[in-house]
Amino acid sequence: MAAKWQRPTVDTKFHIDVTWWQENNRDMRVYVREALCDECREAYKDYPDIGEIDAIDPQTGEVSREDGLMHVLRTCCSLKPDYITPTTPVVGAIFRTFLANGNQPLSVNELYELLDRRPPATILRMLTAGTVYMGIRPVR
């Protein structure tokens, strides 16, 4: 039996779908770089690709490979108070939230709780109206 397509709800989990970036020939790193703090942007400006590093999960101790720039962002820049500000566009703020949490799937309700910006119904409409913004799509 084929899985029936379900209209996403405020409880549907979303994430950054990296295949969307590949399909659209867009480089996610450009946006990752924009999200870096001033110090890191300066430190890595001459390194378009710093490669992968071993990331250790503090909970499980499990080692996995992670993009170096994403790692820097997650462990430094995203912890700074101006990482997401009231003037960050909502979609940008959602994108940055996923970068900060290692792209763990979140529902619109959860994003709303984290960001406290627009009502969940508005965020849901924005993410499902047709245009895919920054690869943010429901988890398949």
* Neighbouring residues of 82: CB distance < 8 A, sequence distance ≥ 6: 37
Residue 43 or 132: the one with the smaller Cβ distance to Zn ion is: 43
**E strand or H helix at 21, and its extent?**
helix 18-23
Q: What is the distance between the terminal CA atoms of the chain, rounded to a whole angstrom?
A: 17
Residue 40 beta carbon to Zn ion: minimum distance, rounded to whole angstroms: 3
Least CB distance to Zn ion at residue 109 (A) = 29
- Work out which of 9, 33, 40, 117 binds Zn ion, going by CB under 5 A: 40
> For residues 10 and 76, which CB has a smaller minimum distance to Zn ion in the complex?
76
137 backbone dihedrals φ, ψ, rounded to 5°: -140, 160
- For residue 95, the minimal CB distance to Zn ion (Å) is 17
The amino acid occupying position 113 is: E
What would the x/- binding string for Zn ion be over residues 65 to 84, using CB under 5 A? -----------xx-------
CA 120/CA 67 separation, integer angstroms: 31
Q: Which residues bind Zn ion (CB under 5 A)?
A: 37, 40, 76-77
